[in-house]
Structure 1
Amino acid sequence: MKLVTKLTITALAVLSLSACQTRQADQTQTAKVSNRASNASVARSAYNFDSEDIKVPAYFDTQGLQNCTFNPATESDACPLKKPTVRMYFAGTDVGGEGQGVEALREYDDKQLLFMLENQFAGINRFRIITRDDDVISAEKQTFMEQQGARALAERAGSQKVLKPDFIVKLDTLRTVKSEGSITGWMDYTLELTTAVLNPFTRELMSYPNLGKIRVKSEDVRERNELKYVMVNNRYETGFRYHDPAHVNAVINDMTSRGIDILLTRMLSEMPATAQVLGIKGNQVSLDRGQNAGVLPNETMIIFQYEAGFVEPIGVANVNPSRNSAVGEIAVWKNSDLAEQVERSAANGIYRPSNGTKIFAVSVGTPAGFLESRT
């Protein structure tokens, strides 16, 4: 099936899966891939790093941070943290397989997938998502007009303009089903998601973000015995109701949720959160940006010095945001002369960068436990 999604990619620099494996392999941990299924990749806890693991991840951006105001209505294009405005689409549905269960699989409502995707991406606060839930929007406008009057509705609509998307992210899906066994059998479902980014105004097919293909199998979300059924005289007798769209939709929803989680972890690796370090006191670090810049709870962030285009890591910290700032604890210091100098200075007071040098923090991927806390 084809899903189309609009993403604003001003700050979106994409890390291909191969690059993620080579550049960040020592900063993320990936579950073992089995049966060609895809798995979520999450950041290693800052407390599990060694000195040699402390490296700046790919695609960080510190140029122009002073231009950021974090007012979404007036944010400058010069701000590298300006949130992309995104609209998401599905282009169509491809269903494969034959025999039992195919017809029920065709009846899956793709709008559910679209709304799941919108909700998950909006929740990380690194995008501005334009919802396509037209039914809810229309119903609310009608209710507002009935309660407040047509004039009030016109004034509200005039003061808040509809967002203009910058990019489209197209999601294609393929759902397949295979049944095994003749009398006692099992239904095996597979969901594949592929993405493409389009500029709707230039008609350009963008090379980024290149999130690759995501494949989810029913056995990734359900015990196989839950999908077992029994046939008698070529007719369904008992077990999993593969012919009932409601039961099939429940399985596909779980698979979809897992696929979106995997997509989210890849995107968070490709769009690291960045903040400037205000000061370091002991092992405590203070950052000038927080939830407003997409910093997530228990974020693993590399602390590094940036001077004259050169990057030198100092340590790795576990960071928690407030709305407009963040605090963290440096869990491991880099084994280097600079890190030792900063650590000594921070032990005797508050260390602040000077002489034109700046210290930044950049995330390395999806925080451990983040996906579980959103389910």
Structure 2
Amino acid sequence: MPNYFDTQGLEFCTFDVQNEHPNCPLYRPVVRMYFDVADVSGEGFGVDAVRDYDARGLVNMLENQFAGINRFRIVTRDDQVVSQELATFRQQQGDAAADARAAEQRILAPDYVIKLDTLRSVKNQGSITGWMDYSFEITASVLNPFSREIMAYPNLGKVRVDSADVRDRRQLQFVTANDRYVSGFRYFDSAHVQAVLNDMASRGIDILLTRMLAEMPATAQVVGIRGDQISLDRGQNAGVLPNETMIIFEYEAGFATPIGVAEVTPSMTSSVGEIVRWKNSADARRVRSAANGGIYRPDSERRVFAVSVGAPYTFLRDRT
């Protein structure tokens, strides 16, 4: 079974994707994101351009990337756009309609906040012909805003991305004469430097996402098994991703018994998949025998669940 998956928490589940109990492992936590980009270090040419880096768009990038995998509910910090839209709604639909809509949809209260601290650094090598080396370090911490506790889980750690990870080094080469720029990469131009740092930040966020996918797996209940085919009760609405690898396990009286490994494809509210490997056990053989003779439908005493095991192999490729 994946690390940190709490099978005991299944006792709290209502199996209603819109109204799940917070202690259920199927629950999607509500998160607010913070991005701090205060620290800069460096030596030689180009330090000023790194300090000029405009990071205002990184918060939106961070929110959109995390919201896109649909395993969390992200509370936006884009107050300007939200306020503008609410004002437009009131102008077009009237105060009564706006008040009615607000009463139907309450503002989400975060379960925790994710804070990302960054360190940007730069150094250059060479004398007449040189090149720029940038690095972008992201340290993630998960905080309970009410108890002020730094939480041990999920543990995202630190990510370091170097400019060589996103650019051919020849693209960052430059020529100087008498300590003055002649040609090549415009290390003093904030726009050129920002383009490189944006790519580095995006790659760092993708790496954090893959860690988050491993720490907080997608889960679903198995509705039925026919042969090697399985049907799940949740799909994109619960963060199941295309080509997701999932452990299939039977849950009874507090015990989780793995019975196989499946690869699944989600629709909006459900998923289908194929069990690519059955466990060599009496429990797995019992379920497989019943599935080969028709459709195996788990009952209330023996539920069957699927839980993901990290990021799908196509995850980063499909996001670039």
Q: What TM-score comes out, normalization by structure 1 length? A: 0.80
**Which gives a bigger RCO, structure 1 or 2 (Cα 8 Å, sep 6+)?**
1
Per mean C-alpha deviation after superposition, the further-off stretch among 165-174 and 341-350 is 341-350
What is the match of residue 67 of structure 1?
14
What is the match of residue 320 of structure 1?
265
Q: What is the alpha-carbon distance in structure 1 between the residues aligned to residue 40 and residue 51 of structure 2?
A: 6
1:217 aligns with 2:162: yes
1:337 aligns with 2:282: yes
| Paired amino acid for 1:314 | I
| Paired amino acid for 1:110 | A
1:289–1:65 CA distance, 2 compared to 1 (3 A): farther
1:147 aligns with 2:92: yes
Q: Per the alignment, in what secondary structure is the counterpart of residue 301 of structure 2?
A: coil
Matches within 5 A, 1:24-39: none
The number of residue pairs the alignment matches comes to 318
Q: What is the alpha-carbon distance in structure 2 between the residues aligned to residue 187 and residue 301 of structure 1?
A: 43
Q: Deviation per CA, 1:237-262: give whole Å up to 9, x if none.
A: 11111101110010011101110000
Q: Deviation per CA, 1:78-137: give whole Å up to 9, x if none.
A: 533222111111345100002211100011122222111100111111111111112222
The equivalent position to 1:254 in structure 2, one of 192, 199, 205, is: 199
| Paired amino acid for 2:268 | R
What is the match of residue 178 of structure 1?
123
Q: What is the alpha-carbon distance in structure 2 between the residues aligned to residue 95 and residue 269 of structure 1?
A: 30
Q: Structure 1 stretches of 5 or more lacking a match?
A: 1-55
Matches within 5 A, 1:358-369: 358-369=303-314
Q: Per the alignment, in what secondary structure is the counterpart of residue 99 of structure 1?
A: coil
Q: What is the alpha-carbon distance in structure 2 between the residues aligned to residue 97 and residue 355 of structure 1?
A: 61
Q: What is the alpha-carbon distance in structure 2 between the residues aligned to residue 161 and residue 356 of structure 1?
A: 36
Q: What is the alpha-carbon distance in structure 2 between the residues aligned to residue 231 and residue 323 of structure 1?
A: 56
Matches within 5 A, 1:282-301: 282-301=227-246
Q: Does the aligned pair in 2 maintain the 1:89–1:169 contact within 8 Å? A: yes
Matches within 5 A, 1:257-272: 257-272=202-217
Q: Deviation per CA, 1:47-85: give whole Å up to 9, x if none.
A: xxxxxxxxx2112234136413122xx443353322211
Moved over 6 A (4+): none
User: How far off its partner does 1:368 sit?
Assistant: 1.6
Matches within 5 A, 1:1-375: 56-62=1-7, 63-64=10-11, 66-71=13-18, 74-353=19-298, 356-375=301-320
Q: Does the aligned pair in 2 maintain the 1:67–1:78 contact within 8 Å? A: no
Q: Per the alignment, in what secondary structure is the counterpart of residue 229 of structure 1?
A: strand
User: How far off its partner does 1:318 sit?
Assistant: 0.7
Q: Does the aligned pair in 1 maintain the 2:35–2:59 contact within 8 Å? A: yes
Superposed CA RMSD: 1.9
Q: What is the alpha-carbon distance in structure 2 between the residues aligned to residue 94 and residue 332 of structure 1?
A: 48
Q: What TM-score comes out, normalization by structure 2 length? A: 0.93
Q: Structure 2 stretches of 5 or more lacking a match?
A: none
Per mean C-alpha deviation after superposition, the further-off stretch among 148-157 and 92-101 is 148-157
1:303–1:91 CA distance, 2 compared to 1 (3 A): same
| Paired amino acid for 1:315 | G
Q: What is the alpha-carbon distance in structure 2 between the residues aligned to residue 319 and residue 258 of structure 1?
A: 26
Q: Per the alignment, in what secondary structure is the counterpart of residue 211 of structure 2?
A: helix
